Amino acid sequence: MSAADARPQPPVAEAIRADVARALAEDIGPGDVTAALIDPAARARARIVSREAAVLAGSPWAEACFRQLDPQVRIAWHRHDGDAIAADEVVCELAGNARALVAGERNALNFLQTLSGTATVTRSYVDAVAGTRARILDTRKTIPGLRLAQKYAVRCGGGHNHRMGLYDAILIKENHAVAAGGIGPAIRAARAASPGVFLDCEVESLDELREAIDAGADRVLLDEFSDAQLREAVALAAGRVPLEVSGSVNLEHVRQIAQTGVDCISIGALTKHVHAVDLSMRFEDA
3-state secondary structure of 203: strand
> Which candidate, 109, 120, 114, 106, places its Cα nearest to that of 53?
120
Residue of 72, 194, 205, 280 interacting with its own copies (CB under 8 A):
194
Strand-by-strand arrangement of the 219-223 sheet: 135-137, 264-266, 243-246, 219-223, 199-203, 170-172
Judged by CB under 8 A, which of 110, 120, 246, 260 binds its own copies? Answer: 110
How far is C-alpha 111 from the chain's CA centre? 13
228 sits near its own copies (criterion: CB under 8 A): no
Residue from 85, 92, 98, 153 touching its own copies (CB under 8 A): that is 98
Show the beta-strand stretches assigned E in 67-126.
74-77, 84-85, 90-97
Which of 27, 204, 218, 223 is an active site residue? 223
Using the rule CB under 8 A, which residue among 51, 198, 214, 227 binds its own copies? 198
x-or-dash string of contact with its own copies, 207-226, rule CB under 8 A:
-----------xx-------
Q: Which residue, 98 or 230, is less far from its own copies as judged by CB?
A: 98
Binding test (CB under 8 A) with its own copies, winner from 60, 151, 153, 243:
151
Residues near its own copies (CB under 8 A), total: 107
Q: Label residue 245 exposed, middle or buried (CB < 10 Å: 0-12, 13-18, 19+).
A: buried
106 binds its own copies (CB under 8 A): yes
> Is 272 tagged catalytic?
no
Residues in contact with its own copies, shown as a per-residue x/- string from 266 to 285 under the rule CB under 8 A: ------xxxxx------x--
Q: Longest C-alpha distance within the chain, in Å?
A: 72
8 A C-beta contact, residue 172 and residue 190: yes
211 assigned to active site:
no
Please list the active-site residues.
Answer: 106, 141, 173, 202, 223
